[in-house]
Amino acid sequence: MPQQIYTIDDIKSCYVEFVNKLDSPRIDNLTNWGQHRLFLAKYFPIKDSRYSPSDIMIEFNTRTYHLDTTKAPEFLDQHNYLAWLQGELLKA
């Protein structure tokens, strides 16, 4: 079972851990979409296996979120990526 993020405050530490993980494939060898997908799958339950490159459904605190990764900044742009993801998860 993947490690899950339970609070908005957990996102930054999980992101830093993910980017600096030495025993996993180098994420800089992946496409931007691949980086998003791998991170989201590691820390959030994926709700629908019929995702597309632009739409990934995740669960966070019992709610389902449709994330449009075409609107996301580059994954390795930590400040902007975390701001985008946290903003998506705080939407009502």
| Domain residue extents for the chain | 10-90
Strands 56-60 and 63-67, by their bridges, are: antiparallel
Please give the chain's pLDDT, 92 residues, in tens. 457 777 888 899 999 999 988 666 678 788 888 898 889 988 998 887 666 767 889 999 889 999 998 899 999 999 999 999 999 999 85
Residues 6+ apart with CB under 8 A from 23: none
What's the start-to-end Cα distance of the chain, in Å? 28
CA distance 89 to 29: 27
pLDDT value, residue 77: 96
DSSP three-state, residue 58: strand
pLDDT value, residue 30: 87
* The model's pTM: 0.84
